[in-house]
Amino acid sequence: MLKRWIVMVLLMVGCQPQPRTVEVSAPQVGSVSKTVAPVSSVISFLDRTKSAGVHFAYRNDEDHSDFAILESLGGGVAILDFDRDNVLDLFLPGGGVFHSPAIVGNSSALLRGSTNWRFADVAAEAGVVRSKYYNHGAAVADYNEDGFDDILITGYGGTTFYQNQGDGSFRDVELLDDRMWSSSAAWGDFNGDGVLDVYVAHYVDWSLDNHPLCAGPQGHPREVCPPRQFEGVTDVIYFGNGDGAMRNATTEAGLKPQGKGLGVVAADLDLDGDLDLYVTNDTVPNFLYMNTGNGAFDELALISGTAVSDLGTSDGSMGVDVGDYNQDGLPDLWVTNYERENNAMYRNLGKGLFRHVSRPIGIAALGARYVGWGTRFLDVDLDGDEDLIVANGHVIRFPQNTPRLQRPLVLENIDGARYGNVTDQAGEYLSAAHCGRGLATGDLDDDGDEDVVISNLNEPVAILSNETNSHHNWLTLRVIGRHSTRTAIGTVAVAKLGKVSLLRQIRGGSSFASTSDSKLHFGCGPVTRIDELTVTWISGACTILKDVACNQVLTIVEPATASN
Amino acid sequence: MTVSTEPSSSHHPPRPYWPVVIVVLLTLGIAAAAVWPRYFGPMARYQRGRDALISGDRVAVEHISESLIHTAGYEAHGWLLRGLLLMRSGKLQEATGCLGNAVEDESLAVEANYTAAQCFYRAGMYPQTVQAAQLALERDPDCLEARRWLASAYYDLGNLTHATVELARISAAAPDDPRPDRLLGLIAKDSEQFAKAIEYYRESLRRAPNQPEADAIRTEMAESHLKLGQFAEALAALRPCPRSAAVLTLEAECFNSTGDVEQSQARLRAALAVDPKYFPAKLMQGKVLLDEGKSDEAEKVLKEAVQLEPQNSQAHFQLSQALRRSEKITEADEELQKMQSIQAIHREFSDLHEDADARPGDVEVRYRIGDLAQKLGKPKLAILWYRAALSIDPNHAKSRAALQELSAAR
Lowest mean pLDDT among A54-63, B40-49, B315-324: B40-49
Contact between chains at B321 and A311 (C-beta distance less than 8 A): no
Over residues A250-267, the pLDDT tens digits come to 999 999 998 999 999 999
Pairing, β A197-202 against β A529-536: unpaired
Using the Cβ of B316 and the Cβ atoms of chain A, whether some distance falls under 8 Å is answered with yes
Contacts of B229 in chain A (CB under 8 A): 340, 342, 364-369
Q: What is the mean pLDDT of residues B288-293?
A: 92
Contact between chains at B228 and A367 (C-beta distance less than 8 A): yes
Residue of B nearest to A367 (CA): B229
pLDDT at B2 over 60: no
Contacts of A433 (CB under 8 A, 6+ apart): A403, A405, A406, A407
pLDDT at A297: 98
H or E, element range at B148: helix B144-157
Over residues A466-491, the pLDDT tens digits come to 999 878 999 999 999 999 999 999 99
Over residues B307-325, the pLDDT tens digits come to 999 999 999 999 999 999 9
The share of chain B scoring above pLDDT 70, in percent, equals: 95
Contacts of B227 in chain A (CB under 8 A): 340, 368
Using the Cβ of B89 and the Cβ atoms of chain A, whether some distance falls under 8 Å is answered with no
Query: What Cα–Cα distance (Å) separates residue B353 from each residue in A5, B281, B347, B382?
Result: 64, 28, 10, 13
Contact between chains at B325 and A349 (C-beta distance less than 8 A): yes
Over residues A213-264, the pLDDT tens digits come to 998 987 888 999 999 999 999 999 999 999 999 999 999 999 999 899 999 9
Contacts of A401 in chain B (CB under 8 A): 192-195, 228
| Predicted TM-score of the model (pTM) | 0.82
Is ipTM strictly over 0.90?
A: no
Greatest C-alpha distance within chain A? 70
Over residues B110-150, the pLDDT tens digits come to 999 999 999 999 988 888 999 999 999 999 999 999 999 99
Nearest by CB: B229 against A303, A308, A368: A368
Lowest mean pLDDT among A28-37, A204-213, B34-43, B373-382: A28-37
Nearest by CB: A367 against B229, B256, B287: B229
Selected residue of A338, A401, A404 to mutate for chain B interface (largest B Cβ count, 10 A): A401
Q: How far apart are CA A407 and CA A393, in angstroms?
A: 8
- Asked whether the bond before A101 is cis by omega within 30 degrees of 0, the reply is yes
Q: How far apart are CA A48 and CA A444, in angstroms?
A: 11
Using the Cβ of A340 and the Cβ atoms of chain B, whether some distance falls under 8 Å is answered with yes
Q: How far apart are CA B87 and CA B189, in angstroms?
A: 34
pLDDT at A81: 97
Find, among A75, A70, A54, A56, the residue nearest to A440 by Cα.
A75
The share of chain A scoring above pLDDT 90, in percent, equals: 84
Q: How confident is the model at residue B38 (pLDDT cuts 50, 70, 90)?
A: low
Over residues B208-232, the pLDDT tens digits come to 999 999 999 999 999 999 988 899 9
Measure A362 CA to nearest chain B CA, in Å: 6
Over residues A11-37, the pLDDT tens digits come to 333 454 333 222 222 233 333 345 565
Nearest by CB: B339 against A28, A312, A349: A312
Using the Cβ of B207 and the Cβ atoms of chain A, whether some distance falls under 8 Å is answered with no
Using the Cβ of B263 and the Cβ atoms of chain A, whether some distance falls under 8 Å is answered with no
Find, among B287, B50, B73, the residue nearest to A309 by Cα.
B287
pLDDT at A312 over 80: yes
Residue of B nearest to A25 (CA): B293
Q: What is the mean pLDDT of residues A450-462?
A: 98
Q: What is the mean pLDDT of residues A521-538?
A: 96
Question: Selecting from 1.10.10.10, 3.40.50.2300, 1.25.40.10, 3.40.50.720, what CATH number does the domain B359-410 have?
Answer: 1.25.40.10
Measure B243 CA to nearest chain A CA, in Å: 24
Contact between chains at B231 and A353 (C-beta distance less than 8 A): no
Q: What is the mean pLDDT of residues A521-546?
A: 96
Query: What Cα–Cα distance (Å) separates residue B95 from each residue in A475, B43, B82, B153?
Result: 87, 21, 7, 18
Over residues A70-100, the pLDDT tens digits come to 999 999 999 999 999 999 999 999 999 987 6
Contact between chains at B231 and A365 (C-beta distance less than 8 A): yes
- In sequence order, the β-bridge partners of residue A277 are A266, A289
Nearest by CB: B230 against A26, A302, A367: A367
Using the Cβ of B350 and the Cβ atoms of chain A, whether some distance falls under 8 Å is answered with no
Using the Cβ of B261 and the Cβ atoms of chain A, whether some distance falls under 8 Å is answered with yes
Contact between chains at A312 and B313 (C-beta distance less than 8 A): yes
Write the DSSP string, A73-137.
S----EEE-TT-SSS-EEEE--BEEEETTEEEEPPPEEEEEETTTEEEE-HHHHT----SSEEEE
pLDDT at B39: 67
Using the Cβ of A440 and the Cβ atoms of chain B, whether some distance falls under 8 Å is answered with no
CB contact at 8 A, A436 and A460? no
H or E, element range at B224: helix B214-227
DSSP A280: E
Lowest mean pLDDT among A19-28, A310-319, B12-21: A19-28
Q: How far apart are CA A439 and CA A462, in angstroms?
A: 9
pLDDT at B104: 84
Over residues A381-390, the pLDDT tens digits come to 999 999 999 9
Measure B231 CA to nearest chain A CA, in Å: 8
Nearest by CB: B195 against A302, A361, A400: A400
B98-107 long-range Cβ contacts below 8 angstroms, 24+ apart: B101/B75, B101/B76, B102/B76, B102/B77, B103/B76, B103/B135, B104/B75, B104/B76, B105/B76, B105/B77, B106/B139
Write the DSSP string, A145-204.
SSSS-EEEEEEES--EEEEE-SSS-EEEE------S-EEEEEEE-TTSSSS-EEEEEE-B
3-state secondary structure of A330: coil
The alpha carbon dihedral of A556, A557, A562, A563 has a sign of: negative
Q: How far apart are CA B348 and CA B371, in angstroms?
A: 11
pLDDT at A449 over 50: yes
Q: How far apart are CA A438 and CA A157, in angstroms?
A: 20
Contact between chains at B317 and A312 (C-beta distance less than 8 A): yes
Using the Cβ of A435 and the Cβ atoms of chain B, whether some distance falls under 8 Å is answered with no
CA dihedral B93, B98, B104, B110 (to 10 degrees): -60
Contact between chains at B192 and A305 (C-beta distance less than 8 A): no
- The string over B364-382, giving b where at least 16 C-beta atoms fall within 10 Å of a residue's C-beta and e elsewhere, is bbbbbbbbbbbbbebeebb
Using the Cβ of A31 and the Cβ atoms of chain B, whether some distance falls under 8 Å is answered with no
